[in-house]
């Protein structure tokens, strides 16, 4: 951590490096936004989509012994929510390292 701080001070001293750093932060933020958009699309699809809007159509199919739409609304969407958050935490760890912005 102390090393990071020292790195920061060296970068501030050089104008070119400063621009490079701003570019890197912009790319980091864009990558973050893309990841958020993908995960939220899945979030909306399983809960609002499969659990509410399409529930009647999906109920024609069964998973185990319960209608699929009902299962998405009371079980499936919750499992997928948990997975989504862990995927985000994991992918952000990767992005933090790639763009050298981690703590």
Partner 1 sequence: MFAATAGLLANPTGGGLDSTRALTFLFVTITFLVYLYIGWRSRVRETGEFYVAGRGVPAIANGAATAADWMSAASFISMAGLISFMGYDGSIYLMGWTGGYVLLALLLAPYLRKFGKYTVPDFVGERFDSETARVVAAVCAIFVSLTYVAGQMRGVGIVFSRFLEVPIWQGVVIGMVIVAFFAVLGGMKGITWTQVVQYVVLVVAFWIPAVAIAKLLTGNPVPQAALTFSDITEKLSALQVDLGFAEYTQPFANKSKLDVLCITLALMVGTAGLPHVIVRFYTTSSVRAARWSAGWALLFIAALYTAAPAVAVFARYNLLRALDGARIVGTESLRTDDETSREILHLVAAESAANSAASEPITWATSWQKTGLITLHDANANGVIELDNAHGKFAEASIDPDIIVLATPEVAGLAPWVIALVATGGLAAALSTAAGLLLVISSSIAHDLYIHFVDPHAPESRRVAVGRAMIVVAIVAAGYFGIHPPGFVAQVVAFAFGLAAASFFPIILLGVFDKRTNRAGAIAGMIVGLLFTTAYIVGNRSDKILGTEEPLMGPWCFGISAEGIGVVGCMLNFAVTLVVSRLTAPPPAHVQMLVESVRVPKGSHAPEAHFDESDADADNP
Residues of the shown chain interacting with partner 1 in the complex, contacts defined by CB under 8 A: 1, 4, 21-22, 25, 28-29, 32, 36, 39-40, 43, 47-48, 51-53, 55-56, 59, 63-67, 69-71, 73-75, 77-79, 81-82, 84-86, 88-89, 92-93, 96, 101-103
- Is residue 22 within 8 Å of 12, Cβ to Cβ? no
Strand partners, 63: 66
Least distance CB 25 / partner 1 (angstroms): 6
Q: Which residues have C-beta within 8 Å of that of residue 94, sequence separation ≥ 6?
A: none
Phi, psi of 102 (to 5 degrees): -65, 170
Least distance CB 56 / partner 1 (angstroms): 6
Helix (H) or strand (E) holding 31: helix 15-44
Report residue 60 as tokens: 């024609």
């Amino acid at each position: 951590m102390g090393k990071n701080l020292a790195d920061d001070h060296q970068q501030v001293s050089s104008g070119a490096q400063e621009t490079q750093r701003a570019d890197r932060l912009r790319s980091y933020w864009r990558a973050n936004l893309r990841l958020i958009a993908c995960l939220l699309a899945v979030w909306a699809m399983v809960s609002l989509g499969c659990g509410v809007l399409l529930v009647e159509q999906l109920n024609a199919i069964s998973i185990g012994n319960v209608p699929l739409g009902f299962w998405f609304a009371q079980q499936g969407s919750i499992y997928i929510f948990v997975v989504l958050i862990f995927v985000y935490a994991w992918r952000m760890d990767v992005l933090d390292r790639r763009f050298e912005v981690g703590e």
